[in-house]
Amino acid sequence: MKFFFFHLMPYADLDLDYDKKHNSAWVTLPNTYFDPEKGHALYNRYLDEMELADQLGFDGVCVNEHHQNAYGLMPIPGVMAGALARRTKNAKIAVLGRALPLLNNPATVAEEFAMLDVMTGGRLIAGFVRGIGAEYHAWGVNPAISHERFHEAHDIIIRAWTEPGPFAYEGKHYHFEYVNCWPRPYQQPHPPVWIPSQGSRETIEWAADAKRKYTYLQTFSPVAALAHFMKLYSEAAERNGWTATPDHKGWSVPTYCAETDEIAYHEAKPHIENFINKFLKMPLEMLAPPGYQSLASVKAIRKAKESIRQNQTIDTLIEKGMFLCGSPATLREKIETAQDEIGFGNILNNLQFGTLPHDLVRKSTTLFAEEVIPHFRKKSAAAAAA
Amino acid sequence: MPGRETFETIAGCKTRIMRGGQGAPLLFLHGGSGASMWQPFMDKLAETFDVIVPEHPGFGGSDSPEWLDNIGDVAYFYLDFMEQLGLSGVHLVGTSLGGWIAAEIAVRDRHPLKSLTLVSPVGIRVKGVRKADIFLMSPEESVRSLFHSKALVDAALARTPSEAELDMAAKNRLTMAKLAWEPRLFNPHLYKWMHRIKTPTLIIWGESDQIVPPAYGPEFQKLIPGSKLETIPECGHVPQVEKPDVLAAKIIAFAGGVK
């Protein structure tokens, strides 16, 4: 199993009473809530945390892209990946991802990722996403054509990496006379592609296509949903004539590790609750603009009366397996149980979340690296020896 | 007397049409919430006209054709529609999104048209005058923004829509986004050619329209040569629901008077 340290880089200094005046930390929350001096300290602190993860032996570090919000301060994740490229030595750098449909020229992602891959000597993992629904409000791009643009943008990038340029691209939404990616990627034929999703059936089918075999990541979901969607992925792969391995599956989950379960619970509680109730807060109309999901998915959501507006507690998050929280022994057991049942080979731990301060991130990450990860390393080594 | 329902395949799109009354043809183009039901104002109009109420491609009981990408596609669809149904001397009436489509049709080919009535249309942008963000409103905010009358708001909020209605609303909303998300509710090139609308034109606005501010009315009037602008007091964005008799009387007086 491979372990990744996933940072969302929230604006942790957010005035948490913002929600007395505003209904979301996204899109419409005035940027006057952002203090650049505090932002300066946060960015540098967060990069330190990611560099620590590299030093502690994590297999990779992950960044991602979101726009116009306090939840994640990485509208251009390549800036962070670039900063990490030189300061990390061994860790893979996963950009999870760029939100392709938002772009007017997706070939720019082929260039950006190729630069990172060449700079790091092949440590890049390329993530492709559509962004969350709020991005379509923030960015103005039409959500009704989000899937079409995603597929075209993806095709442009993969072709730019694998076909000799220049070539012309003749799509419906994108048209280019010359696609000719300089530099070409270091990893051949191209960097590994990871697809994070909340469980869209269309996305799972697409990622599991025999032409692609992309690693599918289930993000911030109950463990039961994780099991369900990983099963769908395996089934789709079988239908397409190949067998998915653990490497094709990843689980992205907020994680907190402390000396005992009780200490972990009390230290994490306010910060994980801020994460879900303050930083992720948005109305359904913002989360799910028309066309972002298929009409069938919209109906399913309506029936489930699902809404992330309701306040949630650490207890429900732990109970549903949406948050890994506890002593090293507890985390070893929870991860092992889930892995045995579900068979994922990558776990992406959000070891900073919401307002969790630096000293606790450092403590939790170190403990996790020293007391949890080695257990699985030994297990893999034993399996390899056998 | 409800209009009779028929289906017609136009440009490969199976299209649901309601039709009732006798007289000169009046083609009614609905707004973003569709036209699933025959409404009282249609009855009023049907006393004077042959009222034809299609559902746009991508809305309600009509298909969502592959070719549907933008408002121009819908305008050309309706030129085909009028040709295929053999309609001439058409009184074209459009509300909101339908008003935009009507203007796009009239810019392309005014010859099938005898008159044009635009009811709180979208389709242009007046810089600095913001339309409501219909895609970010909660369902309750949407209802509150639609009407002037508190009684109508309360009645609408008290109703629980059926599953079928919710499905249709989701379909309509998807097509609305496809046509109008970006640029939001307008075609940046339409205003340049609205002088081509030489058809007699009446523009109608509810004075308390909170979706498209009434300040848009005079701008439409400036762009369409010889057009008239009338407003309806104590009326929001949907005069056909809020003031059906007033709206029908205005259309009948105007369209009926066009020689």
Query: Are B215 and B185 spatial neighbours (Cβ–Cβ below 8 Å)?
Result: no
Both tokens of B159, joined, read 């109703």
Residue B125 with chain A: CB contacts under 8 Å? none
Which of B67, B137, B174 would best serve as a mutation to test chain A binding (most A beta carbons within 10 A)? B174
pLDDT band per the 50, 70, 90 thresholds, residue A311: confident
Distance CA B23, CA B252 (A): 12
Contact between B135 and A285 using a beta-carbon 8 Å cutoff: yes
* pLDDT for residue B126: 97
Contact between B167 and A295 using a beta-carbon 8 Å cutoff: yes
Q: Environment class of residue A336 by beta-carbon count within 10 Å: exposed (0-12), middle (13-18) or buried (19+)?
A: middle
Which of A295, A297, A303, A309 would best serve as a mutation to test chain B binding (most B beta carbons within 10 A)? A295
Closest-CA residue of chain A to B133: A137
Closest to A142 (Cβ–Cβ): which among B167, B170, B177? B177
Q: Residue A252: which residues within 8 A CB-CB, separation 6 or more?
A: A6, A96, A196, A217, A218, A219, A220, A347, A348, A350
Contact between B170 and A291 using a beta-carbon 8 Å cutoff: no
Quick check: helix, strand or coil at residue B103? Answer: helix
pLDDT band per the 50, 70, 90 thresholds, residue A310: low
* ipTM (interface predicted TM): 0.94
Longest Cα separation, chain A: 61
User: How many C-alpha atoms does B234 have within 13 Å on its Cβ side?
Assistant: 7
Four-CA torsion A177, A183, A189, A193, nearest 10 degrees: -90
* pLDDT for residue A305: 55
* pLDDT for residue B239: 98
Q: Residue A304: which residues within 8 A CB-CB, separation 6 or more?
A: none
Both tokens of A70, joined, read 């306090």
pLDDT tens series, chain B, 259 aa: 788 999 999 999 999 999 999 999 999 999 999 999 999 999 999 999 999 999 999 999 999 999 999 999 999 999 999 999 999 999 999 999 999 999 999 999 999 999 999 999 999 999 999 999 999 999 999 999 999 999 999 999 999 999 999 999 999 999 999 999 999 999 999 999 999 999 999 999 999 999 999 999 999 999 999 999 999 999 999 999 999 999 999 999 999 999 8
Closest-CA residue of chain A to B67: A172
Percent of chain A at pLDDT above 70?
97
Query: Are B145 and B211 spatial neighbours (Cβ–Cβ below 8 Å)?
Result: yes
pLDDT band per the 50, 70, 90 thresholds, residue A303: low
Number of domains in chain B: 1
Closest to B178 (Cβ–Cβ): which among A28, A140, A142? A142
Closest to B177 (Cβ–Cβ): which among A28, A283, A291? A291
Contact between A285 and B177 using a beta-carbon 8 Å cutoff: no
Query: Are B47 and B21 spatial neighbours (Cβ–Cβ below 8 Å)?
Result: yes
Distance CA A227, CA A344 (A): 9
Closest-CA residue of chain B to A283: B138
Q: What is the pLDDT of residues A112-164, one digit of tens each?
A: 999 999 999 999 999 999 999 999 999 999 999 999 999 999 999 999 999 99
pLDDT band per the 50, 70, 90 thresholds, residue A309: low
CA of residue B104 relative to chain centroid, distance = 12
Distance CA B10, CA B45 (A): 25
Which domain, by its residues, includes B103? 4-256
Q: How far is B161 from chain A (nearest CA, A)?
A: 13
Closest-CA residue of chain A to B142: A285
The CATH number assigned to the domain holding B73 equals 3.40.50.1820
Query: Are B129 and B215 spatial neighbours (Cβ–Cβ below 8 Å)?
Result: yes
Closest-CA residue of chain A to B180: A142
Contact between B170 and A143 using a beta-carbon 8 Å cutoff: no
Q: What is the pLDDT of residues A209-229, one digit of tens each?
A: 999 999 999 999 999 999 999
Contact between B177 and A283 using a beta-carbon 8 Å cutoff: no
* pLDDT for residue A386: 80
Closest-CA residue of chain B to A140: B182
Q: How far is B141 from chain A (nearest CA, A)?
A: 11
Residue A141 with chain B: CB contacts under 8 Å? 182
What stretches of chain B adopt beta strand conformation (E)?
A: 4-10, 13-20, 24-29, 49-54, 90-95, 113-119, 201-206, 228-232
CA of residue B38 relative to chain centroid, distance = 14
Q: How far is B146 from chain A (nearest CA, A)?
A: 17
Residue A28 with chain B: CB contacts under 8 Å? 136
Q: How far is B23 from chain A (nearest CA, A)?
A: 39
On the question of pLDDT at A35 being above 70, the answer is yes
* pLDDT for residue A199: 84
Amino acid at the residue A35: D
* pLDDT for residue A185: 98
Closest to B138 (Cβ–Cβ): which among A143, A283, A298? A283
